[in-house]
Structure 1
């Protein structure tokens, strides 16, 4: 979803797991209801002149947010645990909890920033993603190859720089060209551009394009690294980790990717032709029925062990789900009440027939859906948010800790909600996030 340009977000609310301050609410207490995030020098509001939250990514105990301002500047903010380097070099210290260092969102210094400044280059952070304890940033500069930075833990080869990394080397530039046959780190023949970047808890998938020096754009390829034990990066490998970028054997040149989603051990790809490609584990039924879908698909999403498909029947939006239902994450019934409850089926969102799914946000084992009475996001001012699934940390923001097996409206809740209209949603590892606008 693209936030309407006339509706600027003013507040960010969070709920759920917060043991390391990753919600940025000023404490390490879990939030069982949606609570305003606090930004250094700005209080419980987004920084002045914020026009858009470009992206939000959250791992097990850290969160990064990419903000855009009215003058076009883009800035990276972070909260939570940076002790493994996942918040960059300036936050590479154990989490503090004193009055002098409150647990709030702070601007993050860009890794290798001095190198870029010394060369007189103007790179802008364009994409962010987060694995368990690792963060990924894509930087872009006109006329130059994109740069992908990984920082944090190298568990399961998450940094993409090989197995024998120095433990102190917690930020690095990933050699994406390695997947194209460049084993020595030489410059590619032209420019490399990252189309998309997605991270699951233990693996990463990137769409990579090459623009030749002659200005010819070559067909894109898929590149990945990290855990590959279940074939989530293509073939099952021995050892079970790809510690450097490698080509994923799916041809996307003739049928480009429209959407990509990653679970814990599975990868799902939606092609322009409406075909769905699946990789990895199906032990929980998370891949059942996906390759044979014969209906127009708008979007796909993955929790750790389930998969979701946003489709339509005529003018009505429909959400399908398959996979694990141990936490009610399929959104239709308690798994203990029926057999084979993990098969592909309809999520029972109790909305009006005229309601439309605007955004699907999948967390670890819970799901949020942003709905609207109109598909025109530029004119609508009355969005609703529905949620279901795992709720052990209060991550659905409904004030209790029991799992929610059927979709419930979580915004507006009908209680004492902070003033504002919801304009965007995100879900992550036991956490949920709402952006509000005062308009």
Structure 2
């Protein structure tokens, strides 16, 4: 049904409207239990109508009122809302799945996000108990725990995906988000970086006087830094890579994950973003207490904690390999590992979970190493402290890691998952750890984009 502009809509009652989402060309009002009654307009009841779009300059009293009149619409189209096909599974104690509950789910379940199907995610990331999404319309949405402001919103937890206030005039166009335990960092198209959430450990680089922020604040970078092109978060630290391959970092440094700093001090906490003394790098990935870098020329370099071999093979250790963590010198407590140049040339993309690491090869295969007690490496065993091992999966196009689980998307649309599964985060209908890559059963099209929080998984499909 199409209603022309100016038609009196006073008889159209909007029940339970929860949110108005605005973009450049249209406005939407949607609700999980949305109903429109149109007895006077069509002689019947449209109790299942769930979609309203108006090209209006103002939504007037569309939200918060049971009756509305749209004065400036060119047209009003009514029909069922083709909700964005975004699915989630796993840990959900704080509503981080965005399914309007706080109960774990063990199979992919439709999220509640007030956006139509023609809008899709371009970035999905998550922390311990929160999820951040950037859409193709360059809007940000958040769900989950918000005690430290990690959602970029005022107030408490959100159990459905909620828009984050974001002024493009002030903050630019968002292109990528990364999450730590309870902090969030957002990169814009101009290479500037914004952060919100916990800063007790300096993970937002806002100095020692800011404990947390619920509002996005631009992260000050060192003088002379170029445009940032890559961001990655560990549990309580953040790493930045600029267009020239220079690396910067801030946050917790107790395990030596941020060494060597370009400074005299060896600090447990780095409150302001500082450059690291490293060769030029082209990629970075962060674990719980370690970092992996792909250098431009020399190899793959990793540093930080190495209790489970997450830095790489023992024969690649360069320094600190005999030092115990907690030693007086924090520089000595960090271990450094460099792979050979052949591996570096083969690496097209790095990835990391809490205690394992890996890369996607030029031939689209996965090479993984490190902790394997939950089957994190997907090699069919739980033998720990594994050297670099090739996964049987081929043609990998995208990969995402939680704390101790991994999801991989292949060129033909297959979606494989493996590792820790205590909360059903592998989406297989059970909570038993998964030791080999297993295809996630789902219906309704092919998976196009994958993302993970520490104990949860999100899938965007094409149908």
The Cα of 1:39 is off from its aligned counterpart by 1.0
Aligned to 2:154: 92
Structure 1 residues 161 and 348: alpha-carbon distance in aligned structure 2, compared to 1, 3 A threshold: same
In the aligned structure 1, how far is the partner of 2:165 from the partner of 2:404? 32
1:239 corresponds in structure 2 to: 267
Structure 1 position 341, deviation (Å) = 5.2
Q: Is residue 9–residue 436 contact of structure 1 (8 Å, CA) maintained in 2?
A: no
Tell me the residue number matched to 1:150. 195
1:418 maps onto 2:443 in alignment: yes
* CA positional deviation for 1:48: 5.0
Taking the aligned partners of 2:211 and 2:309, their CA distance within structure 1 comes to 39
Q: Deviations over 1:84-111 (max 9, x none)?
A: 21122xx321226xxxxxx21121112x
Aligned residue in 1 for 2:219? 174
| Aligned counterpart in structure 2 of residue 268 of structure 1, from 271, 292, 298 | 292
Residue in 1 that maps onto 2:124 = 56
- For residues 20-169 of structure 1, the aligned pairs below 5 Å read 20-40=94-114, 46-50=115-119, 52-69=120-137, 74-88=138-152, 91-95=153-157, 103-110=159-166, 113=167, 123-140=172-189, 146-165=191-210
Mapped to 2, the partners of 1:56 and 1:167 lie a distance apart of 22
Mapped contact 2:151–2:214 kept (Cα < 8 A): no
Separation (CA, whole Å) in 1 of partners of 2:373 and 2:359: 19
C-alpha change, 1:92 and 1:436, in structure 2 (3 Å) is same
In the TM superposition, what is the alpha-carbon distance from 1:83 to its structure 2 partner?
Answer: 2.7
Which position in structure 2 is the counterpart of 1:294? 342
Matched position secondary structure for 1:424: strand
Q: Which residue matches 1:345?
A: 389
Alignment CA distance shift 1:79-1:122 (3 Å): closer
C-alpha distance in 1, partners of 2:87/2:416?
A: 15
Residue 20 of structure 1 contacts residue 81 of structure 1 at CA under 8 Å; is this kept in 2?
yes
The 1:122–1:104 alpha-carbon spacing in structure 2 relative to 1, beyond 3 Å, is closer
Q: Is the 8 A contact 2:372 2:386 kept in 1?
A: yes
Give the CA deviation at 1:409: 1.4
For 1:47 and 1:242, the matched residues in 2 are separated by 42
Q: Any stretches of 5+ residues in structure 1 without a counterpart? A: 1-7, 41-45, 97-102, 181-187, 210-218, 350-354, 373-381
Deviation at 1:166, TM superposition (A): 5.6
Matched pairs, number:
353
Q: 1:311 to 1:49 in 2, by over 3 A?
A: closer
Deviations 1:210-258 (A, max 9, x none): xxxxxxxxx4421100111222112386431111101111121xxx41x
Q: Give, in whole Å, the separation in 2 of the partners of 1:291 and 1:306.
A: 15
Equivalent in the alignment of 2:372: 325
Mapped to 2, the partners of 1:196 and 1:247 lie a distance apart of 14
> Contact 1:78 / 1:108 at 8 angstroms: preserved in 2?
yes
Per-residue deviation, 1:192: 4.5
Is 1:303 the counterpart of 2:353? The answer is: yes
Per-residue deviation at 1:22? 0.7
Query: Which structure would you say has the larger Rg?
Result: 2
Tell me the residue number matched to 2:401.
362
Moved over 6 A (4+): none
SS of the residue 1:343 aligns to: strand
CA distance in 2, matches of 1:58, 1:358: 20
> Can you list the C-alpha shifts for 1:46-87, whole angstroms capped at 9, x where unaligned?
43531x422112111111110113xxxx11111112232112
Q: Which residue of 1 aligns with 2:234?
A: 200
Contact 2:143 2:157 in 1 (8 A): no
Closer, same or farther: CA 164–320 of 1 in aligned 2, 3 Å: same
Q: Is the 8 A contact 1:85 1:171 kept in 2?
A: no
**CA distance in structure 2 between the partners assigned to 1:9 and 1:348 by the alignment:** 35
Q: For residue 30 of structure 2, what is the aligned residue in structure 1?
A: none
CA contact (8 A) 2:148 2:198 kept: yes
Could you list the per-position Cα deviations for residues 254-280 of structure 1 after superposition, in whole angstroms to 9, with x for gaps in the alignment?
xx41x2211111111123447212121
For structure 2, the 5+ residue unaligned runs are: 1-81, 314-337
1:419 and 1:47, CA in 2 relative to 1: closer, same or farther beyond 3 A?
same
Q: Tell me how far 1:294 sits from its aligned partner.
A: 2.5
Q: Secondary structure at the match of 1:294?
A: helix
